[in-house]
Chains A and B, each alone.
Chain A
Amino acid sequence: DGGITQSPKYLFRKEGQNVTLSCEQNLNHDAMYWYRQDPGQGLRLIYYSQIVNDFQKGDIAEGYSVSREKKESFPLTVTSAQKNPTAFYLCASSPIDRAEETQYFGPGTRLLVL
């Protein structure tokens, strides 16, 4: 899992609650990504950031928000508007956002709804 850390490992959300997942990297990468993994569906892109103070919606951004105030940090907030948040969330980074660049993944956070 290299130089990407995600916390917590498990997170429990109550109905109507916003929760924030942490992602930190010490690889000096410009680009960072958030994916959602559901059983049998592969990974789907939620948000990505090509550079500090900039981010773009991915395929399933509704109910999520992000910020990129520091190069090494890209936190994801799962808002109460996300009606089906139970999933495994993976953060990734790459040197720059180009098609040929490898994305490296963190260990993941599993979000469960109480």
Chain B
Amino acid sequence: AQSVAQPEDQVNVAEGNPLTVKCTYSVSGNPYLFWYVQYPNRGLQFLLKYITGDNLVKGSYGFEAEFNKSQTSFHLKKPSALVSDSALYFCAVRGNGPGSQGNLIFGKGTKLSVKP
């Protein structure tokens, strides 16, 4: 079964410090991994994705994520957090194996809180 785990419901970081939001996954076939951000009462905004190639993926707003195949992880990182980064972050995965049509699987989300 395909699944995504975001082990932390909330991450608290001081402004200027590095941040990490964790994600692990399980899929059939090759994994295609995505990070989205959601501000209150808004839709999801795409941040970045891993398809193939370089394990370090750079995305919008200074975010990056590292794909680790052996640990089946795709953690989101940013070197220096901003108060405006405070939001809900979703990891999502889709495999290219059988039964994956239409099926982007989302984690439950991690609330990031950046304090001044």
Name B's interface SS: loop
For residue B106, which residues in chain A have a CB less than 8 angstroms away from its CB?
A: 35, 42-44
For residue A43, which residues in chain B have a CB less than 8 angstroms away from its CB?
A: 44, 90, 92, 106
Task: Verify A48–B102 contact, CB threshold 8 A.
Answer: yes
Q: Which chain A residues (49-76) contact chain B, with CB distance < 8 Å? A: 50, 56, 58-59
Contacts A56-B101, A102-B49 given: A41-B41 contact, CB under 8 Å? Answer: no
For residue A41, which residues in chain B have a CB less than 8 angstroms away from its CB?
A: 108
Task: Verify B103–A50 contact, CB threshold 8 A.
Answer: no
Contacts A42-B109, A99-B32, A99-B94 given: A107-B42 contact, CB under 8 Å? Answer: yes
Contacts A1-B42, A42-B108, A105-B44 given: A97-B102 contact, CB under 8 Å? Answer: yes
For residue B45, which residues in chain A have a CB less than 8 angstroms away from its CB?
A: 1, 105
For residue A105, which residues in chain B have a CB less than 8 angstroms away from its CB?
A: 36, 43-46
For residue A88, which residues in chain B have a CB less than 8 angstroms away from its CB?
A: 41
Contacts A100-B51, A102-B46 given: A45-B104 contact, CB under 8 Å? Answer: yes
Task: Verify A99–B42 contact, CB threshold 8 A.
Answer: no
Task: Verify A1–B34 contact, CB threshold 8 A.
Answer: no
Name A's interface SS: strand
Q: Does A103 contact B (CB under 8 A)?
A: yes
Q: Does B17 contact A (CB under 8 A)?
A: no
Task: Verify B42–A50 contact, CB threshold 8 A.
Answer: no
How many A residues face the partner with a CB closer than 8 A?
Answer: 31
A15 to B9, CA, bound (A): 33
A33 to B106, CA, bound (A): 14
Task: Verify A100–B103 contact, CB threshold 8 A.
Answer: no
A100 to B31, CA, bound (A): 9
Residues on A lying within 8 angstroms of B by beta carbon are 1, 4, 6, 31, 33, 35, 40-45, 48, 50, 56, 58-59, 88, 90, 92, 97, 99-100, 102-108, 110
A-B contact pairs, 20 of them (CB 8 A): A6-B43, A42-B4, A42-B90, A42-B109, A43-B92, A43-B106, A45-B103, A58-B102, A59-B103, A97-B101, A99-B95, A99-B96, A100-B51, A102-B46, A103-B46, A105-B36, A105-B43, A105-B46, A107-B43, A110-B41
